[in-house]
Structure formats: structure tokens, C-alpha cells
Structure 1
Amino acid sequence: MVAYQEFVSLSQSPDSEERGSAAHLSALAYLNHCGPADEQAALYAALIGFLDDPSVKVRAALAYGLLHAKEAPRPIMLALLHDSAIIARAVLQYSPVLIDADLIGLVRNLDVAMLVAVSQRASLSPRLAAAIIARGHGAVTLRLLSRHEVALEPGLLVDLAAGQGDNAEMRGALLARKDLPAAARLLLVQKATEALRGARIVKGAVAEDRLNRVLRDSCDTALSAIGEREAVRTSAADYVSALIVTDRVNTRVLLHGVVTGHVMFFAECLAELAQTPRAKVFALLENGSRPALNALLARCGLGEGVRNLLARLILHARSADLADDAAARHYVVTALTEELIAEHEGVIPEELEEAFAYLSEQNILLARKAARGVMTAFAEDATAPMALPEAEMRLALPAA
């Protein structure tokens, strides 16, 4: 316990350390006060008095005592907010008394150090976070994006993806957020693809034709994977509608959706194209007859050859685990390719050329995936030695 006279002596001491102790004690006494009202009023007056102390140490001691308290007097915290930089930064970062209305106006003119202090507050509203990002300081924006507990408006994330998605660090921070809208995620994938295409180390290591095939296949996979994720969240309609409006849904994308096991995305595409209830589309895909499937695909505006191909693919997919089994996917693609060749006697119609080219590409990729680890697994289980032909004399090849 500190007697009143002793407190007054400390408050009026010429030593700033003692006045600082008095300021800190008065702050703690005010926050924990449970006595008469006149005593609390006296403590409040004492706090106000310390605001005019010439020593920054005293004012800092006062701020430290009130810094984390929800019960701290607002007028005092607002006064400290305009004190010296070291005190103001602490108040900006830690004081729960400050509300958005106090901070948003300040954020527009704060220097970077103060802006960082605001961005490190324990909780930030979407409105305040947007005001901080609007200042356009990349390092501060990255700091906010890395705080996944801070909610950001979808429109703001889309704008960031469009405006700053060419920056690799910003792109990574955006892609790491689970609340990133599907349209923004797809846009960032496209920007990452272009960055890879232009990277010298990539261009120097992979032939241009093969690089284009790999990147196109990766983009298609990303497009359908994002759609599958949105379908699980029951918010795929807007994503798919945007793809259709921008002519991103074509035969290749529809085939890729099924071949990669993204069947919910495939179903959403059919529902949007055919303007048919999703429940009905799912029922047809699961149990519909071939004529019923052809009727659904006709409503999607697909040609006869593409309709027949997709109907066959759907029937094959019902009995295969295309999502996780590369061997099953390879089998289905091989079967479809052979059926097309046999049906058209090796002369693929123009309508199906794109689909046939896609199936041929996938056949190679899936064959490689399905073959990985097969010999290793066989060798581990096999008991008898492998019968191999005797080695023949090798020809000497000229140097390349």
C-alpha cells in the first residue's frame, strides 16, 4: 500500500524515475479500483496530469500501465496515441480501447513503422485491413496476407491477385490463403504458368513443345481442381459460370475433369451448360442410361461425336477410381482411344481431333504414372529370378 502523501511526493519528485513509478502506480490503481467514486475521480485526474509531464519516461510508464486494459480511459489513450513515436507505436499495436473509427483515419497518413504497428494488432477487422492494404506498402501487405486469421474481403483478394499477382512472393502469400476466391486462385495459377514459361532455367531445360504441353495440362488440372474444391463448398456455380462466359469450358476441359477424377466439377459444368438442376445431373451421371446421357449432353450444345465420346467416358468412370488410381485412368483413356480408332477406321473426324489429341497426350502421361513403382513392387514380391536374354554385343555409337 502507498499512502496518499507518499504518492503525491512521488508525483512531484524532480526525479523522472520516481514520477514514472507514480504514473505506473496510478494507472494500476485506477484499473483495479473498487473504492469510493471521489477516490476514482482523483486517480483519473492524476492520470490526466501525467499526460503533461515533460519526461517521455513518465508518459511511457503511464502508457505501459494502461496499454493492454479494455477499461483504460479513452481520452487518455487517444492523447497517448499522439505522443512520441515510441509511445504511439505501442498504443497503436496493443491498446484494445481503440476502435476502427480511431484508426482508419490515421492509417491513411501513418509512416511505415506506424503502419506495421497497426498491422500487428491482435485483431483486425476486414475494413481496417483493407485500409492498411490500400496504402500500397508491399511488405505490410505481405504481413497481413500471412495472418490467415484476419478476414479479407473477396473483392480485395481478387484485386490483389490481378494487380500484384506478377510478384512471386505476393502470389505465394495469396495462394496460401484458404479464403482466396476461386477466380483469384485461377488467375494466380495462370500468372505462375506464364512466369514459368518465361523463366530461363525452365526454357533451357525443357523443349518448347513439351513445355507447352506440360503447362497446358497443369493449367487444365488446376482449373478443374479449383472447380472441384468449389463444388465441395457448394459455391461452384459462379466459378463455372465465369468460365463459360469466358469460353474456358471446352471439350478438353470436360474430358480432363473426368479423367482427373474431378467429377463434381464436371457435373457443375454440365448443369450450367444444360441449365439443368444439379441434383438431376448427378443422378444421370450415376445411373442414367446412354440415351439419357446423350440427351443431357445435347442440351449442353455438344456435337454428336463429342456426346458419344463423353457418354462412353462416363460409363467407364462408373466402374473405375479415376480420382486416385493412375492405372485405372490409364486403362480408361486407352480404351477410349482404341474405340475411337476402331470406330472411325483410323480416320478421326475433325470434330474429335482436339479430344483425340488430348487422349493421346494423357495416354503417355498416365502410362508413366501407372508404371512408376510397378517393377519395384514386383521385385519385392517375386521369388523366382527373372529370365532375361543373354547380353548381345553393343554397337558403338558415334559421339553426339
Structure 2
Amino acid sequence: MKMMAPDTSATWCEPAAPSQRAEWAELLARAHLDGFTPEAERAEIDDILFGIAADPAVSVRRALAEAVAGAQNISPALIRQLARDADSVAASVIQSSPHMSEDELVEIYVAGRPKLREAVLGRAQLSESLTATIARFADAEDALRLLNHPDASLATETLRFIAETFGEEASIRGALVDRPDLSADIRQFLMRKTSEAVAASPLVSLALGESTGRSIGEGACQAGTATILGGARKSELVKLVERLAASEQLSPAVLLRLACSGSLEGLSEALAQLAGVQAVRVRSILVEGRNKPFAALCQRAGLPQASIAILFHAVDVWRHADEDGEMLTDGEVAARIMQNLAADLASTKAGTMAPALAFLRGIAREADSRRATQVSSAAIAAA
């Protein structure tokens, strides 16, 4: 019964039919793995299993592969022989065997056979180094499977690569945004992609006009960017600000929204990046609250005069609120800034302040709209 050469391996249990050989192969392999075969015969049975792995019937080899796929106490050489077989045979060992090395899995995935790629992605756990390689050779469908894998470890750089490569795909954006481990700069990148996609939608263009749709999308993106900046962890803030500055997204509108929402840490980092000064110096200027150093800083950062006035008054409002222990809404901040701007209007041509006032009114309207929505939701929940 023992087979010594591949060309005679089909005789291991002839003249049985393939279906019967497949059944016997599974039974023998499971008995061997469960320790039911005599110790004196185990070496011989190992040889028989190699013979079964060379059986001319794919169904027989597949039965063997499925029986030994997840086993630790099986010959690694047998696993590798099965992993080089036809896709339907190899898939089960590639997906489940602990004897498959990471290098082997990478090689299999890069080779690009769809069923075997699926098997690699179906493994119970995927390491950071493996997912990094997979991401660079994946199509959108595989990238989504990688993101949805419950035990795939993905480094921040791998997530960033997926976002930058497949960010046009709504399903990819959704899967990324749902991740609690997503860094602030990737989240902002995806938010911008979503905003651009909505603005470019034929439905939006038809309903609002291309120019209006683009303007609304840009406003939403600025608001979202300010929100992400304001909520970013300190460890992420510098990198996020650097990326936004490099892509020219640190606009006056974003800085104004940061100031009006009280996100002074984000504002400090943004002004430091734009002005080319140390963030600690910027924070000192904001805390001191003196007009001339503040104006000089903003001018160095390239901000327009009307924006500087709002920024100064916004920081002033939040500084006093902090001293008094007040909790302010965006709408209350906007109202106080407009009150403080009244003195500026008395000594400045009103036309130059019109854009600033329009911006503040917009902030107040947004706050009113959010408050109305919250009240409505509370009423519905209480009904």
C-alpha cells in the first residue's frame, strides 16, 4: 500500500472510484491527525498521505486538503505540496494552515489567482506587514474586504494608501470612516472626497446649478475640516495641519470656524504653520490678547484684514468666557463677535467688513439650524 513514487501514487487504493478514494482519504487523514493510527505505522501513513496528494483525481486531493488544512500536527511539506495544487485544492490550506508563511502568502496573493487571493483574505488573522502588501496589489473589491476583515491589522500608512488609491469609491470611504482607529488627516481627506463627490453629482448640479453646488460643497468641506481639526488628538494635530497647509486647505474660512468654535489649539497650530513661527509663540500671543502682535501674526500668515478682525474678537470672546467659566454656543459666539465689531465699523468703511459680517451671520444660522434639529429630535423621542 505504501507508495514510493508519484507516478504510481494512484495505486494507493485502486481500483476504488474517485468518490470512494476521496472518502477514504478524508477518514485516513482525520484518524491520523486525531492520533488513532498506531505509532509504529505513522511514518508509513505520512508517505501514504503524500501519495494521496498526488492522486490524479482533483476531488481526492481536495478532500485531503480540506481534512488537513487547519492542522498543526501535519507535515509542512505536505501542506506546501497541496498549496501548489489546483485552486480548488490549494484554497483550503492557504486559508487555514498555520504552516503557511507570510512570504508564501504574499507570493500567492501577488500572483493574482482570484480564488487564491480570496483564500489569503479569508485567513482568520492578517498581520500589519501582510495587509500592507495586500493593499498595494489589491483592487477596490479586495481593499474593501481587507477593511471589513474583523482581525486584519492595518497600519495608519496602509489605511492612508487605501484612502488615496480608492477614495473615489463610496463603499471604501464608508468603511474607512467607520473605523475608530482612523487618523484625523485621513478622515479629513475622505471628508473632502465626499464633499467633492456630492458637489459633482448630476442630481446636485441639476437641482442647484454647478456653481452653487460647488460653493455649498466647499463650504461644507471647510466646516468639516474645522470640526476635524478641533477634535483632533494632540499627537495628530501637527501632521494634519502640515497636510492641510501643503494642499492649501488652511483657508481663512477654516481658521475663522476654528476661532468661532473655540478650537484655539487647532487655531494655534494652523497660524504657526502659515506664519512659520513656533506654536508656543502663537499660543502666547493668543493668551495675551493684544491687538498689534495678533494682527502682525495674522498678516505674516497671509490672512486678509477682515478675517483678522473676526479672529481677534473670536479669541477675545473665548478668552473672557474661559475666565468667567461660561459655556458658549457657536451662535452666541457669533453674536458677541458682531457686537464687538460694531466699534470697528465706526472707524472702518462698512463695505470692507461686509464679508466678515456675512460669514458671522452664516455661523449663527448654522447654529440655529442645529439647535432646531436637536429640539425636533428630542420632541420626536419624547412623543
| Alpha-carbon distance between aligned partners in 2 of 1:176 and 1:37, rounded to the nearest angstrom | 53
Identify the residue that residue 365 of structure 1 maps to in structure 2: 366
Identify the residue that residue 188 of structure 1 maps to in structure 2: 190
| Alpha-carbon distance between aligned partners in 1 of 2:178 and 2:334, rounded to the nearest angstrom | 33
Structure 1 residues 374, 25: CA separation in 2 closer, same or farther (over 3 Å shift)? Answer: closer
State whether residues 24 and 61 of structure 1, in contact with CA within 8 Å, keep that contact through their aligned partners in structure 2: yes
State whether residues 321 and 327 of structure 2, in contact with CA within 8 Å, keep that contact through their aligned partners in structure 1: no
Identical aligned residues as a percent = 25
| Alpha-carbon distance, 1:257 to partner | 1.0
Structure 1 residues 277, 257: CA separation in 2 closer, same or farther (over 3 Å shift)? Answer: closer
State whether residues 327 and 370 of structure 1, in contact with CA within 8 Å, keep that contact through their aligned partners in structure 2: no
Aligned residues: 360
Structure 1 residues 97, 211: CA separation in 2 closer, same or farther (over 3 Å shift)? Answer: same
Identify the residue that residue 253 of structure 1 maps to in structure 2: 254
| Alpha-carbon distance, 1:81 to partner | 1.2
| Alpha-carbon distance between aligned partners in 1 of 2:26 and 2:150, rounded to the nearest angstrom | 35
| Alpha-carbon distance, 1:305 to partner | 6.5
Structure 1 residues 353, 82: CA separation in 2 closer, same or farther (over 3 Å shift)? Answer: same
Aligned residue among 40, 43, 46 for 1:41: 43
Q: Secondary structure at the match of 1:235?
A: helix
Matches within 5 A, 1:1-400: 12=13, 14-15=15-16, 16=18, 18-33=20-35, 38-147=40-149, 149-206=151-208, 211-230=213-232, 232=233, 234-272=235-273, 273=275, 275-278=277-280, 288-291=287-290, 295=293, 298-299=296-297, 301=300, 306-307=307-308, 309-318=310-319, 328-345=329-346, 347-348=349-350, 350=352, 354-370=355-371
| Alpha-carbon distance, 1:377 to partner | 9.3
| Alpha-carbon distance, 1:138 to partner | 2.7
| Alpha-carbon distance, 1:309 to partner | 3.5
Structure 1 residues 60, 211: CA separation in 2 closer, same or farther (over 3 Å shift)? Answer: closer
State whether residues 131 and 158 of structure 2, in contact with CA within 8 Å, keep that contact through their aligned partners in structure 1: no
Task: Look up the equivalent residue of 2:242 and give its one-letter code.
Answer: S
Unaligned runs of 5+ in 2: 1-10
- Indicate the RMSD between aligned Cα atoms, in angstroms: 3.7
| Alpha-carbon distance, 1:333 to partner | 0.7
Normalising to structure 2: TM-score of the pair? Answer: 0.78
In proportion to residue count, which structure has more helix?
A: 2
Structure 1 residues 213, 357: CA separation in 2 closer, same or farther (over 3 Å shift)? Answer: farther
| Alpha-carbon distance between aligned partners in 1 of 2:71 and 2:234, rounded to the nearest angstrom | 40
Structure 1 residues 340, 92: CA separation in 2 closer, same or farther (over 3 Å shift)? Answer: same
| Alpha-carbon distance between aligned partners in 2 of 1:149 and 1:68, rounded to the nearest angstrom | 17
Identify the residue that residue 8 of structure 2 maps to in structure 1: none
Q: Greater CA radius of gyration, 1 or 2?
A: 1
| Alpha-carbon distance between aligned partners in 2 of 1:337 and 1:27, rounded to the nearest angstrom | 81
| Alpha-carbon distance, 1:143 to partner | 1.5
Identify the residue that residue 383 of structure 1 maps to in structure 2: none
| Alpha-carbon distance between aligned partners in 2 of 1:27 and 1:192, rounded to the nearest angstrom | 53
| Alpha-carbon distance, 1:235 to partner | 1.7
| Alpha-carbon distance between aligned partners in 1 of 2:169 and 2:377, rounded to the nearest angstrom | 42
Question: What do the CA deviations read for 1:179-234 (whole angstroms, capped 9, x no partner)?
Answer: 4444443333223222222223223333666545532331112212222343x251
Unaligned runs of 5+ in 1: 1-9, 379-400
| Alpha-carbon distance between aligned partners in 1 of 2:19 and 2:32, rounded to the nearest angstrom | 20
Please, which moves more after superposition, 352-361 or 218-227? 352-361
Q: Secondary structure at the match of 1:150?
A: coil
Task: Look up the equivalent residue of 1:365 and give its one-letter code.
Answer: E
Q: Secondary structure at the match of 1:248?
A: coil
State whether residues 161 and 174 of structure 1, in contact with CA within 8 Å, keep that contact through their aligned partners in structure 2: yes
| Alpha-carbon distance between aligned partners in 1 of 2:144 and 2:329, rounded to the nearest angstrom | 42
Identify the residue that residue 393 of structure 1 maps to in structure 2: none
Question: What do the CA deviations read for 1:120-158 (whole angstroms, capped 9, x no partner)?
Answer: 111123343344344443322222222264233444443
| Alpha-carbon distance between aligned partners in 2 of 1:209 and 1:41, rounded to the nearest angstrom | 77
State whether residues 135 and 162 of structure 2, in contact with CA within 8 Å, keep that contact through their aligned partners in structure 1: no
State whether residues 145 and 174 of structure 1, in contact with CA within 8 Å, keep that contact through their aligned partners in structure 2: yes
Structure 1 residues 335, 228: CA separation in 2 closer, same or farther (over 3 Å shift)? Answer: closer
State whether residues 148 and 177 of structure 1, in contact with CA within 8 Å, keep that contact through their aligned partners in structure 2: no
| Alpha-carbon distance, 1:80 to partner | 0.9
Structure 1 residues 269, 149: CA separation in 2 closer, same or farther (over 3 Å shift)? Answer: farther
| Alpha-carbon distance, 1:79 to partner | 0.9
